Structure 1
Amino acid sequence: MLVISQKEVVELLSMEGCIDAMEAVLADLATGQAMQSLRQMLPLAEGNLLGLMPGYLRRDGLAGAKLITISPGNHSRGLPSHQGVVTLFDASSGVIKAIMDGQKITAIRTAAVSAAATRHLARADAEVLAILGTGEQAASHLEAMLQVRELRQVRIWGRTPSKAAAWQAEMSSRFSVEITVCATVREAVAGADIICAVTAATEPVLLREWVKPGAHINAVGACRPTDRELDSELVAQSRLYVDSVESAAGESGDYLIPLAEGAIPQDHIVGEIGAVFSGQLTGRATDSEITLFKSLGLAVEDLAAAQYIYNKALRLQRGTEIAF
């Protein structure tokens, strides 16, 4: 069994490679070549969660799971909110092939999926990006968006101005793009072509009246039926795609709350983003419509990222082999 550390995960999983891997595995999910079960979430103390996410990559003969904790209060402790491990098994023999850090896989693959969705749904001339939130996903989403669009300006908003300023300084040292700190969400998204909502919000922070026609939105932060980042009017007036219809119907407050309010019909979801990647479903229809991708995170995404890392580790002789 190969054990791959967090440092090695970061070194082996490039954003560019991960975007392509996410597009491929979600297309496989849409065509039945990848399978997964709905994640199981066990509530813990202080509003924390323990999650189990199993999946199967039929084409590659691999199965596995991510075991993850979600602790929203960790931001105040200086710790990441998502931590865990990903395991890979040979689907035929059941032999454990690898175990690796799941925190960085989650950070990178989540942004990579948003980037793949943006590549297919955002306007080709999109050049202004707004990021709502200043955590780990904000940084990875900036890196990912720069892979799929030529950005002229980036705007960042966070609840704590000092954190937003520190984020701006760090990202400006890493990327050659203009980054501006905004005092309000409204200021950040005014005229933005792409909006990435990666907050820990439980109530809407992004309203329809602030979003321009033709914008594309990646809604990433809220992952429970009671939590949402977007108001009902914005969801109702957007062309909505999801990573998994089953997951959205069971877990997404951004979909379930407007549905319960009667603001949207049950069939408001256009379809799964993987069906767009596979050519089974069309993406953006007009330059003026608002497109929305609601991301919850899927087991097959973790397994595809883990497979990419494992194969690269074998080629480069990385990781630590142990008897198990």
Structure 2
Amino acid sequence: MKILEAEQVDRALDFPSLIDAIEAGFRDDFGMPPRQVFQLAGKDASSHDGFALLPAWNDTLIGVKAFTYFPDNEAAGFASLYSKILLFDRSHGVPLALVDGTAVTYWRTAAVSALAARLLSRPDSASLLLLGTGRLASFLVAAHLAVRDLQRVFLWGRDAVKVLALQARLQAAHPAVEFVCAQDLAQCAGAADIIVSATGAATPLLLGAWVKPGCHVDLLGNHSPDRRECDSALVVGSAVYVDNRDNVLREAGELLIPIAEGVFSADAIRGELKDLCRAGPAGRDSPDQITLFKSVGTALSDLIAAQLVLKNTEAD
């Protein structure tokens, strides 16, 4: 059985190859039982520490990702996320590989975000607002540049020093794009064609009143039913899609809170990522429609990314 660490994952993957592989994987037949997420509150009822298991299979592989999420780890000198993906042969169930799931998570999260943007954003989208300065940020920018001809990217974060450092790294990596530190979040949100939020915010950072007609919004950072990155107005005013309905309706406060308020319903969700990839419902009704994609992560995207890592590693 191969053991593939983060460095091998990073060498094996690229955009847009992973984006294309995930789109093809969601078009094909697959199995994906509901993910199991366990809150590890223990004696501390306010803790958001978690442990999760994500199984999936296609006609080639069976996979299960296990991960821990400890959002306060950084203060103690640890990463917030640790993860491994175990792959088995679909034909006979033989264990094939143990893949670093943390690296895969960064790659597939960015790929799914960009895939949703390719399917839902306006083709002429030229500006992006990115909320969040964590490690995922550089992956998100690279992935979105693979699907849209972005000319300007606004960067926003609570820590101005981190925003400036991110700007410098991204400008060096993508010199043809203008990277701007967002001073006024509302103003930048109103100027952006695509908005991607990947933060640990507990209360809304992004308000529906700020978002212009025709914008596409990706919400990636929250996995808790009592937290959210946007307000109810944005959800109510958008055509809403999700990566997986069952997972989102258990974990995503962005939709669960408006449902509890009585201003939105689960029936208003237009479709899942598989529906978009299979060309089911029309993603965008008009150039002026606001579209919203909420993602909490899927086992299938992990499996497809790990499968591509194994394939490309064996080819080397």
| Deviation (angstroms), 1:76 | 4.0
| Deviation (angstroms), 1:94 | 1.7
| Deviation (angstroms), 1:92 | 3.0
| Deviation (angstroms), 1:39 | 1.4
Q: What does residue 153 of structure 1 align with? A: 152
For structure 1, which segment, 75-84 or 242-251, has the greater mean C-alpha deviation from structure 2 after superposition? 75-84
Q: What does residue 26 of structure 2 align with? A: 26
For structure 1, which segment, 46-55 or 283-292, has the greater mean C-alpha deviation from structure 2 after superposition? 46-55
Say whether residues 1:135 and 2:137 are aligned partners. Answer: no
**Cα distance per residue 1:123-180 (max 9 Å; x no partner):** 1110010000101222111111100111110000001111111111111111121101
Gaps of 5+ in 1: 317-324
Q: What does residue 56 of structure 2 align with? A: 55
Q: What does residue 17 of structure 2 align with? A: 17
CA contact (8 A) 2:240 2:269 kept: yes
> Residues 56 and 106 from structure 1, CA distance in 2 versus in 1: closer, same or farther, beyond 3 angstroms?
same
Letter in 1 for 2:65: K
> Residues 70 and 6 from structure 1, CA distance in 2 versus in 1: closer, same or farther, beyond 3 angstroms?
same
Q: Which whole-Å CA distance do the structure 2 matches of 1:251 and 1:299 have between them?
A: 15
Q: What does residue 41 of structure 1 align with? A: 37
Q: Which whole-Å CA distance do the structure 1 matches of 2:186 and 2:180 have between them?
A: 14
| Deviation (angstroms), 1:280 | 1.9
Letter in 2 for 1:252: A
| Deviation (angstroms), 1:74 | 3.2
Provide the aligned length of Structure 1 versus Structure 2: 310
Alignment of 1:222-261 (within 5 A): 222-261=222-261
CA contact (8 A) 1:161 1:183 kept: no
| Deviation (angstroms), 1:78 | 6.0
Q: Which whole-Å CA distance do the structure 1 matches of 2:276 and 2:49 have between them?
A: 34
Q: Which whole-Å CA distance do the structure 2 matches of 1:188 and 1:120 have between them?
A: 23
Q: Which whole-Å CA distance do the structure 2 matches of 1:102 and 1:184 have between them?
A: 35
Q: What does residue 265 of structure 2 align with? A: 265
Q: What does residue 197 of structure 1 align with? A: 197
Q: Which whole-Å CA distance do the structure 2 matches of 1:94 and 1:56 have between them?
A: 11
| Deviation (angstroms), 1:27 | 2.1
Letter in 1 for 2:126: E
| Deviation (angstroms), 1:15 | 2.1
Alignment of 1:86-125 (within 5 A): 86-125=85-124
Gaps of 5+ in 2: 42-46
**Cα distance per residue 1:238-260 (max 9 Å; x no partner):** 00001111112111111111011
After superposing on structure 2, the runs of 4+ consecutive aligned residues of structure 1 that deviate more than 6 Å are none
Matched residue SS, 1:35: coil
Q: Which whole-Å CA distance do the structure 2 matches of 1:266 and 1:54 have between them?
A: 24
Q: Which whole-Å CA distance do the structure 1 matches of 2:27 and 2:185 have between them?
A: 33
Bigger RCO of structures 1 and 2 (CA < 8 A, at least 6 apart) = 1
Matched residue SS, 2:10: helix
> Residues 4 and 111 from structure 1, CA distance in 2 versus in 1: closer, same or farther, beyond 3 angstroms?
same
CA contact (8 A) 1:157 1:188 kept: no
CA contact (8 A) 1:80 1:136 kept: no
Q: What does residue 64 of structure 1 align with? A: 63
For structure 1, which segment, 126-135 or 75-84, has the greater mean C-alpha deviation from structure 2 after superposition? 75-84
Q: What TM-score, normalized by structure 1, do the two folds share?
A: 0.92
Letter in 1 for 2:136: Q
> Residues 159 and 6 from structure 1, CA distance in 2 versus in 1: closer, same or farther, beyond 3 angstroms?
same
| Deviation (angstroms), 1:75 | 4.2
Matched residue SS, 1:138: helix
Q: Which whole-Å CA distance do the structure 1 matches of 2:16 and 2:220 have between them?
A: 19
Aligned identity (percent) is 39
**Cα distance per residue 1:26-83 (max 9 Å; x no partner):** 223xxxx1111211122235421111111111x22x1110011112123445654322
CA contact (8 A) 2:16 2:147 kept: no
Q: What does residue 322 of structure 1 align with? A: none
Q: What does residue 321 of structure 1 align with? A: none
Letter in 2 for 1:158: G
**Cα distance per residue 1:169-201 (max 9 Å; x no partner):** 111111121101113421331210000000101
| Deviation (angstroms), 1:266 | 2.8
Letter in 2 for 1:215: C
Q: Which whole-Å CA distance do the structure 2 matches of 1:199 and 1:76 have between them?
A: 17
Matched residue SS, 1:206: coil
Q: Which whole-Å CA distance do the structure 2 matches of 1:229 and 1:139 have between them?
A: 20
Q: What does residue 308 of structure 1 align with? A: 308
